[in-house]
């Protein structure tokens, strides 16, 4: 029998990387509203603190942690902090990400290529691998990786970003296959065009492109960080226990034509 408590995340603990702004903030807010305890993990201490201040106006069980996804010790410290504070981590949202653009793929610097692949793909594997033994021991877990429209489409001006986000989906499927036997579900959310710091630049530097994109979105508007909350809560709850390895667009219809 399905009960209301199956939809809630009471007594659950989540880590949201990059939870101090943008899409991560929308996801953290959603999880908190579903009664989950949330650790937001971002690099920028001040951003972490001001985000916590905002979240704590309505939600109490929220903590911040200064975290660099590309540092092994930082990843270990984050997991230690979560386990010492709550004794468990039920949900990992791998959301931290960056992009670098160039006119064409061959014009991207080696450094830009590596930083994007390291942050958006390699760090997900390393953090997930460090945490998953705990989930295996616990006999359950939810891992949510943030992909992109570029997990589906190519992008001439963001080749490393597209490569990393395509990789996120294949990595998600691989982990889903491997860990279903431990009752660990691994899924990806593919956000459409969302108004955040990452895309802010387009509005001012490429207003025509911004409008073109808007015109191609059937919902006729860019997404907002809070549009990601519902899917994140669903994929974190028992209601999605038979869904694993999925890559779900949340894009106002952008990817369907």
Read off φ and ψ for residue 18, nearest 5 degrees: 65, 30
Choose which of 12, 17, 100, 240 interacts with ligand NDP (CB under 6 A): 17
CB 210 within 8 A of CB 14: no
245: left (phi over 0), alpha (psi -120 to 50) or beta: left
Pairing relationship of beta strands 91-94 and 141-146 according to DSSP bridges: parallel
Segments in the chain forming alpha helices (H):
22-33, 45-56, 72-86, 110-117, 123-138, 159-179, 197-205, 207-216, 229-236
Which range binds ligand NDP by CB under 6 A, 7-15, 43-51, 80-88, 208-216? 43-51
Choose which of 16, 18, 82, 163 interacts with ligand NDP (CB under 6 A): 18
Which range binds ligand NDP by CB under 6 A, 42-50, 175-183, 208-216, 242-250? 42-50
Query: Looking only at residues 163 through 202 of this chain, which bind ligand NDP when binding is defined by CB under 6 A?
Result: 191, 193-194, 196-199
The string of DSSP codes covering 141-192 is EEEEEE--GGGTS--TT-HHHHHHHHHHHHHHHHHHHHHGGGTEEEEEEEE-
Compute the least distance from the CB of residue 139 to ligand NDP, in Å. Answer: 29
Choose which of 33, 68, 101, 130 interacts with ligand NDP (CB under 6 A): 68
Choose which of 14, 22, 32, 63 interacts with ligand NDP (CB under 6 A): 22
CB 19 within 8 A of CB 97: no
> Toward ligand NDP, which CB reaches closer, 61 or 118?
118
CB 6 within 8 A of CB 238: yes
The CA-CA-CA angle for residues 132, 143, 238, to 5°, reads 110
Across-strand partners of 94?
Answer: 145
Which range binds ligand NDP by CB under 6 A, 21-29, 30-38, 177-185, 235-243? 21-29
Query: Looking only at residues 86 through 145 of this chain, which bind ligand NDP when binding is defined by CB under 6 A?
Result: 95-98, 119
Query: Looking only at residues 209 through 248 of this chain, which bind ligand NDP when binding is defined by CB under 6 A?
Result: none
Compute the least distance from the CB of residue 235 to ligand NDP, in Å. Answer: 15
Compute the least distance from the CB of residue 145 to ligand NDP, in Å. Answer: 9
Choose which of 9, 15, 16, 20 interacts with ligand NDP (CB under 6 A): 20
Choose which of 9, 36, 37, 42 interacts with ligand NDP (CB under 6 A): 42
* 254 binds ligand NDP per the rule CB under 6 A: no
Q: Tell me which of 86, 126, 157, 161 is the catalytic residue.
A: 161
**CB burial class (10 A; 0-12, 13-18, 19+) of residue 208?**
exposed
Read off φ and ψ for residue 71, nearest 5 degrees: -110, 125
Reply yes or no on whether 161 is catalytic.
yes
Choose which of 21, 64, 167, 252 interacts with ligand NDP (CB under 6 A): 21
What are the catalytic residues?
Answer: 161
């Amino acid at each position: 029998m399905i009960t209301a408590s199956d939809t809630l995340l009471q007594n659950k603990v989540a880590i949201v990387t990059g939870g101090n702004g943008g899409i991560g903030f929308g996801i953290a807010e959603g999880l908190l509203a579903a009664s989950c305890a949330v650790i937001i993990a971002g690099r920028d201490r001040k951003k972490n603190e001001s985000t916590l201040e905002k979240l704590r106006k309505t939600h109490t069980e929220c903590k911040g942690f200064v975290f660099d996804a590309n540092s092994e010790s930082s990843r270990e410290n984050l997991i230690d902090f979560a386990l010492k504070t709550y004794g468990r981590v039920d949900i990992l949202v791998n959301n931290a990400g960056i992009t670098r653009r160039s006119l064409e793929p061959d014009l991207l610097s080696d450094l830009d290529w590596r930083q994007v692949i390291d942050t958006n793909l390699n760090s997900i594997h390393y953090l997930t691998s460090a945490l998953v033994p705990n989930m295996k021991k616990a006999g359950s877990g939810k891992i949510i990786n943030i992909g992109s429209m570029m997990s589906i489409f190519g992008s001439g001006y963001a080749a490393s970003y597209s490569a990393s986000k395509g990789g996120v989906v294949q990595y998600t499927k691989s982990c889903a296959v491997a860990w279903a036997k431990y009752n660990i579900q691994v899924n990806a959310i593919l956000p459409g065009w969302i108004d955040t710091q990452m895309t802010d630049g387009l509005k001012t530097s490429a207003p025509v492109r911004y409008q073109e994109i808007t015109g191609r979105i059937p919902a006729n508007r860019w997404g907002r960080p809070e549009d990601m909350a519902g899917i994140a809560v669903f994929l974190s709850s028992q209601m999605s226990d038979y869904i694993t390895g999925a890559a779900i667009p949340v894009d106002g219809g952008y990817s369907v034509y």
